[in-house]
Chains A and B, each alone.
Chain A
Amino acid sequence: MLARSYYQYKQFHDQDGIIFSFSGFISEGILFALGDVLKKQLTSEAADPNKIKRVFSVFVELMQNIIRYSAECIGNIEDVSDKLGWGIVIVGFQDEQFYVSCGNIVSEEKATRLRKHLETLQELGKEELRSYYRGELKEKTENLDKGSNLGLIEIARRSSAPIEFDFLGLDANKVFYCIKSYI
């Protein structure tokens, strides 16, 4: 039974062209280790270096979003370098395209802001995304670690199609949030 059930798990991964998946608490250390594996694997498969950079960039922004914004977090929540956020991250290759997707729980308030931001991004073309990015770039920030709107715009700029996203309400203040970017 054990082998059958895990083999099904592997088949699910193979069908979806999954390069790797991770679920659990994510730290900056995990981000670095998985990112390193990702780069090495894509390089060994001789993927186009510019495409590797795009996949890597989307991966980093999504992982850092989980660390910063997952509602399930442990560690030192005041310091992003010492914080762990629970999430799922999947990198795969399907229909001749790479994809990076993630899922984690966020507060209702955060979900509302994310949805608005993602809906805006979905409507924008390449040049519009670029000018949106430029506008956000010059905004003064007090705390560089807090993140900004830049992360999602960066993902949208590197994606070959509008970012897919979905939300599932869990209770009054918890929403499971998913996002998928094709590169």
Chain B
Amino acid sequence: MTSSNAVISRASARKLVVATVAGAVLLALSTLFAPDRVWANLLVGSYYLITLGLGGVLFIALTNVCGGGWQAAFRRVPEAMTGVLPVAGVILLATLAMRLGEYGWHHHGEGDVGTFWFKELWLDPKFLAVRAVAYVLLWIAFARALVGRSHRQDTLPPTSNARIHAGMSSVFLAVFAITISLAGADWIMALEPMWFSTMWGVYQFSGLIQATLAVMIVACVLLRRQGALEGVFTDEHLHDLGKLLLGFSCFWMYIWFSQYMLIWYANLPEETSYFISRTHTAWAPVVVGSIVLNWIVPFFVLLPRPCKRSESIMLKVAAVVLVGRWVDLSVMVFPPVVGDLPVFGIPELASIVSMSGLFGLLFAQTFSSAAPVPRNEPFLEESLHYHA
């Protein structure tokens, strides 16, 4: 981190390092008394992190494809989010490797349930591992290419190469749609290989984009207060990010309910197993909690226009959504790994502290590696003066 344009002080960086390391040590020690919980936390945490990084790439690619100009002023924020991808990828792959043998269809496919050749092939642990590496490498490659272009533009004469950005971005969007659906199914849905949902891919996407927007809001507001985006990130940007967060919170609820209602209606035993272990156990209040955090709070708070333009309200709503994302992921992962009883204690806290610290560090480091506002950006003027 170069000290010239570092966005956090040495003292805060040290605090983040301490949080990350202390959390990691505590989590490692927790394997002595609760190995399942530690593994579930690692999966939730690393998936949370990697989807935030991926969400950064998605936001850049989406706005490039649309020819968007409004986001140019704070584009370095989603770019900095992609900085977590390599580290989060390593943690995620290591987590998968720890229990790769427990993934797979075979030990479920014996006995009276018969075998199904495609699941046997697809959920083969070795193939699953190869795919996981491929997804992560693809995401990192696209992130580097898109962010690299943006950084290089800072030193180039001011010509628009928006079209080149759009070309690669549209390829990424296609790759993203396929890989996030498959990755979500491979890493989380396969924890219960007997169960399946065709809504799963879009459900993963809805949570990803919602949390990404929330992180962008928090990061932009904090960077404006700190000074790096002062006078650059305007209330208009905040307002539009608020609209997007409101919209995608509704989208998350829409998708969540669509998945729930189809399963509830058809009432087929092989489909209901997912909701039996979540809404007919002690997890039910947690499921309700995730709906309150991810939809009810953002929906009603973000409806009025003044709320979307208020820094403090937006920070709070974004924080609620980020907690909601954690709860949502926990509801996906914990029941099959840990059991029917929701737990919250040292491993969960340690994982949250460690992953948050890690995200903060990687974000700050990546953000500091380039100019806080893009130079030679043809859309910058538009972004600084538009009305939401």
A binds B: no
